Structure 1
Amino acid sequence: MTNPSKITLGSMVYSLGHFDGRQVAYDFKKILIFLKAKGNLLFGTDFEIFEEDHEVLFKLCNYAIRDFGTCRKLGIDPNKGILLSGPVGCGKTSLMKLIRHITPHFKPYEVIPARNIVFGFNHMGYSIIEDYGNGRFFCFDDLGVEPTGRHFGKDCNVMGEILLSRHDLFMETGTRTHATTNLNAQEIEERYGKRVRSRMRELFNLIAFDQNTKDKRK
């Protein structure tokens, strides 16, 4: 890519900042304009970026563009993944699907509903856990509301096992993992246990919507 600061959508070219030939000086206001346009393409013309979400978006954008200085100021470790938490309908999934498009020159992650992974386990068994413990980039969507896995009569906390595998992968190779969740820290511990919660602290940066954020799907 000759100029990573410019992204073409249809007949429109969007500038995300200034490229000096070596690095991009990103402009958050320009990024928001691009995200609105891309969101309309992905999710329909009713998609909006709300001012109340700018704080969360600012953190996600600086993480995505690898602005190490701003990440340090925000308390974000750019080497870890993102755990985006918030109430139902606040826009977590849409933002995680959207934010990856501002850096098309980076390797993208795949957004996978956690419940789909469990359904796959119920059909295929433990090979599913191995499949998601590999070196690919994933964002596990709606973590914590998936059912318990069951294969040939044996129950398994599928996502808990996958998170442990992803933690091992992260410690060995630095491969990052992302996730979205409606659960708070106590609920995560109740769902997955203290061991997984401890590993998640090492695996993720927590970025959270305000608990009073409105349901945008209503």
Structure 2
Amino acid sequence: MNFKAPHIITEGAISYELGSLKGREIKYDFDKILVYLDAKGKLLFGKKFRIYREDREILYKLSLYFIQDKERCKQLDIDVDKGLLLSGPVGCGKTSLMKLFKFMVPHQRPYEVIPSRNIVFGFNHLGFKIIGDYGNNQSFCFDDMGVEPDGVHFGKECNVMGEILLSRYELFTDHRLKTHATTNLNAQELEARYGNRVRSRMRELFNLVGFDKDCRDKR
């Protein structure tokens, strides 16, 4: 990674210039960002990956968020200091995009994408230690949140992801540490799954960015 030119990303023998440097400020070019995302997506997920024209609006919002364009984000009611909750129907590409976008800003703090159901399986095996493990100072994106089962450890039931979100909220308020997530559920379904207290914390933790409910299945 070139820290002096974080807008230039090299993949193999090819360099992708996502914009231009004006003094100490990067002027990003959205079309150049899309070229990079398409190329990196093919490297990560195979040659069938592609950027869809109908996703242009959501890709624009995500790009503005990740490049921290505070002025334009404010116009779109996106808070660059919060995390992202990317919602949409099954197969619309949420997980792939969250795995992909972090490569666009290698100079920013990285996050790990973890399936929520895997966290619950870890709880069933190891118990409450798992909740502490995800309430630490790392950054995470909890994938497919809301459809994971409840955890059970030695007969004790626990809404594992709900408890972890409460821990992540404390990290956000105390240390401004971001949390991201993807979900197939809408706001009412999330509240039914996690309860009103967690849902209110989620409003403070996340910017909600959503695919259209009629978005095509891209799998």
Specify the TM-score bucket, using the shorter chain as the normaliser.
Answer: over 0.9
For residue 209 of structure 1, what is the aligned residue in structure 2? 211
Amino acid at match of 1:132: Y
SS of equivalent to 2:61:
helix
- Describe the superposition over 1:15-43 as per-residue Cα deviations: whole angstroms up to 9, x where unpaired: 00001341210000000000000000000
- Alignment RMSD: 0.6
For residue 154 of structure 2, what is the aligned residue in structure 1? 152
Distance of 2:18 and 2:8 partners within structure 1:
6
Equivalent residue for 1:191, pick from 181, 190, 193: 193
Distance of 2:23 and 2:116 partners within structure 1:
40
Does 2:37 align with 1:35? yes
- Describe the superposition over 1:156-207 as per-residue Cα deviations: whole angstroms up to 9, x where unpaired: 0000000011011101110010000000011001100000001000000000
Contact 1:167 1:199 in 2 (8 A): yes
For residue 120 of structure 1, what is the aligned residue in structure 2? 122
SS of equivalent to 1:7:
strand
Equivalent residue for 1:55, pick from 54, 57, 63: 57
Does 2:91 align with 1:89? yes
Distance of 1:122 and 1:19 partners within structure 2:
50
Paired-residue identity, %? 64
Contact 1:4 1:19 in 2 (8 A): no
Equivalent residue for 1:22, pick from 9, 24, 39: 24
SS of equivalent to 1:201:
helix
Distance of 1:87 and 1:127 partners within structure 2:
32
List alignment gaps of at least 5 residues for structure 1.
none
TM-score where L is the length of structure 2: 0.98
List alignment gaps of at least 5 residues for structure 2.
none
Q: Give 1:58 deviation, angstroms.
A: 0.6
- Describe the superposition over 1:52-76 as per-residue Cα deviations: whole angstroms up to 9, x where unpaired: 1111111111100111011101110
Does 2:105 align with 1:141? no
For residue 65 of structure 1, what is the aligned residue in structure 2? 67
